Amino acid sequence: MMSCDTFRSRFRAGNDEPAVLEHIRTCDRCLDYAAAVDPDVMFRALGGEELIPAGGVDAFVGEVMQQVRVRSAETRVGVAPVVSWPRRLAIAATLVAGVTGAMLFNRWDAPSRPGVRTPSAMHAQARRSAILATKPIIETYESEKATFVDVPSEEAGDDVKIVMIFDENLPADL
């Protein structure tokens, strides 16, 4: 990089040497000096010549437009709907049909709907009927002070049932 003295010795109005213009980009004092000599030097120092891309402006514009088209195409691909409307309708119809079928099947199978009994519902009713209601063995007893004790059976489904009556009013010589 040239010194300030060299710059000032070489700088003239209309000078557009790259090395000279490079110096005033980094040295404010020399920039003031150069601006006083040639005000246009500031615009030249911006590097206007370097803004022209390699291959010319037309080639640059062509490349930019190509990039714009590529990006535009990428955006279209990314934003485009995955499923088209007819397919969406088909999916919705299938879902509705599936849900409807499942609900109808459940209603058909459930015994809660009165009046309409399926074989499975009737089976369930039969099973319930098979479970007999239970009644107390001792329904009434003459003494109110008596105590009844159901002796638990050791075996499930035992066909012998024991009920003890403890009653102070019973004869002593039973």
Partner 1 sequence: MKRFATYLMVVLFVSASAFADAADVGRSLKVQTFQLKHKQADVAAGVIKPLMSADGSMSIQPAANSLVVTDLAENVKKIAAALAQFDAPPQPLQLSIRLVAASRGDAGRIDSALSDVAPKLALLRYNVLESAGSAQVTGREGEAGLVDLTGYRADFRFGEYDPASDSVKLSDFKLLKLDGDQLTPVLKTTLNLRLGQTVIIGATRQPGSQRALMIVVTARR
Among 142, 144, 145, 156, binds partner 1 (CB under 8 A): 142
Please, which of residues 79-98 interact with partner 1 by CB under 8 A?
Answer: 85-86, 89-90, 92-93, 96-97
CB 37 within 8 A of CB 13: yes
d(CA 31, CA 119): 103
Is 78 or 136 the residue whose CB approaches partner 1 more closely? 136
- Using the rule CB under 8 A, give the single segment among 9-17, 29-37, 55-63, 143-151 that binds partner 1: 143-151
**Minimum distance from residue 77 beta carbon to partner 1 (Å):** 23
Among 78, 136, 145, 156, binds partner 1 (CB under 8 A): 136
Using alpha carbons only, give the angle 75, 76, 80 rounded to the nearest 5 degrees.
115
Q: What is the DSSP letter of 152?
A: P
CB atoms within 10 A of CB 35: 14
**Minimum distance from residue 171 beta carbon to partner 1 (Å):** 6
Q: What is the DSSP letter of 153?
A: P
Is 64 or 89 the residue whose CB approaches partner 1 more closely? 89
Report the chain's C-alpha Rg in angstroms: 53
User: According to the binding rule CB under 8 A, does residue 19 interact with partner 1?
Assistant: no
* Pair of tokens at residue 121: 């519902």
Count of residues that bind partner 1 according to CB under 8 A: 47
Is 26 or 169 the residue whose CB approaches partner 1 more closely? 169
**Minimum distance from residue 126 beta carbon to partner 1 (Å):** 11
d(CA 103, CA 109): 10
- CA distances for 153 relative to 160, 161, 163, angstroms: 8, 7, 11
Residue ranges that bind partner 1, judged by CB under 8 A: 85-86, 89-90, 92-93, 96-97, 100, 103-104, 107, 113-117, 129, 132-143, 149, 151, 154, 159-168, 170-172, 174
